[in-house]
């Protein structure tokens, strides 16, 4: 009887240890991807077909630690879910993408069609390789250049988040074009006072901000109370977008402001270094 009980106890301990190891392995799987950003170098098909982007900055991935990934495919942007059930394994959920009319491109069509067929990944020599099931091909990515004191792993300095005149070019899926270039919505972040100032397109804006690594939040924004003949609707949407911001990322000369799900709520373009007022 004692031998039987000892056997059951040993089996329980071994089983519990195995479950703990499995749980830790699942937890650690994909940990190296979280918080990284990449741009596409090329796609090499199983039949040796090679497709390369004309502009790498238009084909990007940014992995968040909450199981979300932000995507850019040519002129469209979107997001999806991702998970890794084991070392080298990866699966993506359906891609929610904007529907801008980009120029026809075989590479863009491939990415959209093959997105959910990716099954494995390898990080080698600083590059990321995403491979399709059944030897369908491999997408090669390189680190996306980022800037600021909180640059993404592998990134190199390009444009600074702070002390740059950021001009609004997109809100959600909609392109922003100011009727008067002098009234383009903009933001400038001051690292000394941790204050942000700028324009909503009509009224002057100001408020506080807090940055911790890739996290960015804006405090309550104060504004003047002018009533302009145009631009008021954009201004209200801009203010609403700033209230949603939780994270930031710079790609080249563009600043992407994202919500807590990784969705891009606003895109701004660098207009040059500037001292805040």
The angle at the Cα of 233, spanning 229 to 236, to the nearest 5 degrees, equals 125
The Cα 166–Cα 274 span in angstroms is 10
Interatomic CA distance for residues 43 and 27, integer angstroms: 29
pLDDT at 153: 32
Kindly give the confidence (pLDDT) of every residue in the chain, 277 residues in length, as a single tens digit, with 9 standing for 90 and above: 555 554 544 444 444 444 443 444 444 456 688 888 899 999 999 899 999 998 888 899 988 777 888 888 988 888 889 999 989 999 999 998 888 788 888 899 999 999 999 999 999 999 999 999 989 999 999 997 754 444 433 334 457 899 999 999 999 888 888 767 778 899 999 988 889 999 999 999 999 999 988 899 999 999 898 888 877 899 999 999 999 999 999 887 889 999 988 889 999 998 855 544 4
Do 164-273 and 37-143 fall under one CATH topology? yes
Name 38's bridge partners.
61, 143
The continuous run of DSSP H or E covering 106 comes out as helix 106-114
Taking the C-alpha atoms of residue 12 and residue 40, their distance in angstroms, rounded to an integer, is 48
- Helix or strand run (H / E) with residue 40: strand 37-45
Separation of alpha carbons 36 and 143, rounded Å = 8
Fold classification of 164-273 is Lipocalin (2.40.128)
Q: Where are the domains of the chain?
A: 37-143, 164-273
Q: If you classify domain 37-143 with CATH, what class do you get?
A: mainly beta
Cα(182)–Cα(105) distance, integer angstroms: 35
Q: What is the pLDDT of residue 222?
A: 92
């Amino acid at each position: 009887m004692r031998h039987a009980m000892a056997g059951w106890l040993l089996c329980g301990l071994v089983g519990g240890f195995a479950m703990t190891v499995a749980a830790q392995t699942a937890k650690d799987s994909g940990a190296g991807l979280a918080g990284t950003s990449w741009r596409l170098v090329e796609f090499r098909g199983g039949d040796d077909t090679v497709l390369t982007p004309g502009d790498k900055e238009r084909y990007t991935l940014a992995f968040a630690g909450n199981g979300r990934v932000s995507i850019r495919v040519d002129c469209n942007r979107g997001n999806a879910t991702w998970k890794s059930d084991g070392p080298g394994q990866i699966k993506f959920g359906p891609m929610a993408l904007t529907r801008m009319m980009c120029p026809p491109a075989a590479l863009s069509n491939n990415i959209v069609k093959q997105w959910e067929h990716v099954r494995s990944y390898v990080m080698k020599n600083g590059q990321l390789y995403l491979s399709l099931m059944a030897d369908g091909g491999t997408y090669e990515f390189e680190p996306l250049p980022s800037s600021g004191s909180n640059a993404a792993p592998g990134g190199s300095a390009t444009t600074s988040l702070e002390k740059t005149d950021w001009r609004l070019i997109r809100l959600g899926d909609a392109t922003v074009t100011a009727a008067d270039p002098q009234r383009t919505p903009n933001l400038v972040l001051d690292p000394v006072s941790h204050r942000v100032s700028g324009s909503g397109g009509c009224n002057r804006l100001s408020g506080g901000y807090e940055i911790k690594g890739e996290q960015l939040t804006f405090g309550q924004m104060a504004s003047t109370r002018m009533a302009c003949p145009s631009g008021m609707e954009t201004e209200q949407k801009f203010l609403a977008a700033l209230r949603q911001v939780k994270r930031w990322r710079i790609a080249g000369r563009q600043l992407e402001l994202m919500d807590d799900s990784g969705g891009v709520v606003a895109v701004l373009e660098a207009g040059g270094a500037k001292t805040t007022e």
